[in-house]
Amino acid sequence: MREKSNSEIGGFDWLTAGITFTLILIGWGMIFASEYQTDSGDQLPSFFNMSKNYGKQFLFICAAVVLTVASQLLEIKFYRAIAPIFYGVALVLLVAVLGTKPVNGATSWFSIGSFRLQPSEIAKVATCLMLASFLSLPENRFTNIKAKIQALSIALLPMGLVLLQGDAGSTFVFVAFLLVILRAGMDLWIYILGSLLAILSIAALMVDSTEGLFLLLVLIGNAALIHLGQKDRRLLLAYAAVGFLSYNFLNELNYWYMMASHGVLLIGLLLFNLRKNWQLSATTLGGIVISGLYISSINYLFYKVLKDYQQERILVWLRPEKCDPLGALYNVDQSKYAIGSGALIGKGFLNGERTKLDYVPEQSTDFIFCTIGEEWGFVGTTFVLLLFLFLLLRIIHLAERQRSLFAKYYAYGVACILFFHIFVNIGMTIGVVPVIGIPLPFFSYGGSSLLSFTLLIALLLKFDSQRLLVFR
């Protein structure tokens, strides 16, 4: 029996490959622009100068091309079979790197001559394969608690090891795998609870005193009891108005009076609803107590456990007015100025003034988007964002047309990882998320990140090319 040809199996998706390679080439150009200086006269330096980051990035691009071609030579079943071994090796590397010398406060790299290998980048690919392999097994449906715990453990175990390295950015990326688990059928209430805890954590850090947040919880508790217990919208609106005014406009001399008055009202509502709906009273009171304890723990962890530079990165995001304009806030401000100075069409390729004068830190890595904004302006950044959007939509399209659950969940994993990287990296350059140090896919300088992103796409292209060979 003759073997099926590539066209019969599905064919190589050149569109996805083309978008990816276009992003890589543009990124290479931006790395060159971020390091370009005019002190050597009008002569344009070589793109292949190996003493510069853009020269080294060219080697990484060549390696990425070779890796892409090599990945197409192996059978799909091989990747599924090797997923547990690959995952195990990645965990061993994550443990081993903890014993290396810290770089910028994190033990995240193995030094190999002038190059560095970051195991967390390998772990992203390994975890994506392992999670897809686990979720595709018929016996691992989310009808029992064991499967839920195992699926979460696959994502959280490398996440915990990366956290021990002090690399907050890479740690956060592993949250992306929780979205894949949700797509596979994990209970939605777990994610709702996680989102509420995240909101409460942010709220705890945005107020000046824990007592003020406790008061806010009491106000919310009273509003919930009035709404659910009394079923009277007019009464709810009246209390909301009183609560808002008392919380925002009464001075500190009346603070304890407010606490006492609203606390007495809370006790009265709890007792009133206790007779006819004790579950509502118990749930409200329990929620306030648990939230209060959680708030206290968040404040303790933030001020007692986190290091000063980690606190500053979060405060720059949540409370910039409390940060030193020439300290932690300086980097974000310079990033915003660089992007904004590009205006509509930018200053032109290699004409970024703030880039040349090194106002923006880490211009070729974490803050590479600033170079795009300054030199290409609104039009250029929009074009880059559209390319990323097209790539993400294309990956989702590929995921939906897979017959294999293994390939489907793997594709969702790739989409989630890329989305988190894009959102967080660009978000931190414009101040909407904390500066946690995370590369922009295919743009930021770095061999480990470029090879990992390229391998993620390359494996997806391999799986899609043989999508008609269904295996479970």
Q: What is the DSSP string of 61-123?
A: HHHHHHHHHHHTTS-HHHHHHHHHHHHHHHHHHHHHGGGSPPBTTB---EEETTEEE-HHHHH
Instruction: Return the bridge partners of 419, or none.
Output: none
210 and 103 together in one domain: no
Q: Retrieve residue 10's tokens.
A: 């599905």
> What's the CA gap between 360 and 348, in Å, rounded?
18
333 and 450 together in one domain: yes
> What's the CA gap between 286 and 280, in Å, rounded?
10
Q: Are 60 and 439 in contact (CB under 8 A)?
A: no
Q: Retrieve residue 200's tokens.
A: 């409460």
Q: What is the pLDDT of residue 9?
A: 47
238 and 373 together in one domain: no
Domain total of the chain: 2
For residue 428, give the nearest of 331, 347, 345, 352 by alpha carbon.
Answer: 331
The answer to whether position 1 is within a domain reads no
413 and 331 together in one domain: yes
Q: Where are the alpha helices (DSSP H) in 226-327?
A: 233-249, 255-276, 278-300, 308-318
State the SS3 of 430-456.
Answer: CCCCCCCCCCCCCCCCCHHHHHHHHHH
Domain range for 209: 196-305
Residue where one domain finishes, among candidates 305, 336, 360:
305
The answer to whether position 315 is within a domain reads no
Q: Are 169 and 424 in contact (CB under 8 A)?
A: yes
> What's the CA gap between 347 and 199, in Å, rounded?
39
- Count CA within 13 A, CB hemisphere, residue 438: 26
353 and 265 together in one domain: no
The answer to whether position 314 is within a domain reads no
Q: Are 284 and 295 in contact (CB under 8 A)?
A: no
366 and 423 together in one domain: yes
**From first to last of its 472 residues, what are the pLDDT tens digits of the chain?**
344 444 334 578 899 999 999 999 999 999 988 887 665 555 566 677 777 888 889 999 999 999 999 999 988 889 999 999 999 999 999 999 888 887 766 778 887 766 788 899 999 999 999 999 999 887 767 777 888 889 899 999 999 999 888 777 888 889 899 888 888 878 787 788 788 888 878 877 777 666 667 777 777 777 777 777 666 667 777 767 777 666 666 544 466 667 777 777 777 777 776 666 777 777 777 877 887 788 778 878 887 777 777 777 777 777 776 766 666 677 788 888 888 888 888 888 888 777 666 677 777 788 899 889 999 999 999 999 999 999 999 999 999 999 889 999 999 999 999 999 999 999 988 888 888 878 999 999 988 899 999 999 999 999 998 887 764 4
> What's the CA gap between 139 and 67, in Å, rounded?
33
The answer to whether position 146 is within a domain reads yes
283 and 208 together in one domain: yes
Residue where one domain finishes, among candidates 305, 333, 362:
305
> What's the CA gap between 149 and 156, in Å, rounded?
10
Q: Are 282 and 242 in contact (CB under 8 A)?
A: no
Question: Is the pTM above the cut of 0.75?
Answer: yes
173 and 75 together in one domain: yes
116 and 201 together in one domain: no
Q: What residue has token string 């390729």?
A: 349
The answer to whether position 332 is within a domain reads yes
384 and 250 together in one domain: no
> What's the CA gap between 283 and 40, in Å, rounded?
70
The answer to whether position 246 is within a domain reads yes
227 and 264 together in one domain: yes
**CA angle (27, 30, 33) in 5-degree steps:** 155
Q: 251 vs 247, 258, 263, 295, CA distance in Å?
A: 9, 10, 18, 23
> What's the CA gap between 57 and 134, in Å, rounded?
35
DSSP one-letter code for 403: S
The answer to whether position 191 is within a domain reads no
Residue where one domain finishes, among candidates 271, 305, 339:
305
The answer to whether position 212 is within a domain reads yes
147 and 267 together in one domain: no
> What's the CA gap between 311 and 319, in Å, rounded?
11
Angle between the N-to-C axes of helices 255-276 and 210-225, in degrees from 0 to 180, rounded to the nearest 10: 30
Q: What is the pLDDT of residue 5?
A: 42
Q: 82 vs 8, 88, 106, 117, 128, CA distance in Å?
A: 26, 10, 30, 21, 12
Specify the pairing of strand 115-117 against strand 110-112: antiparallel
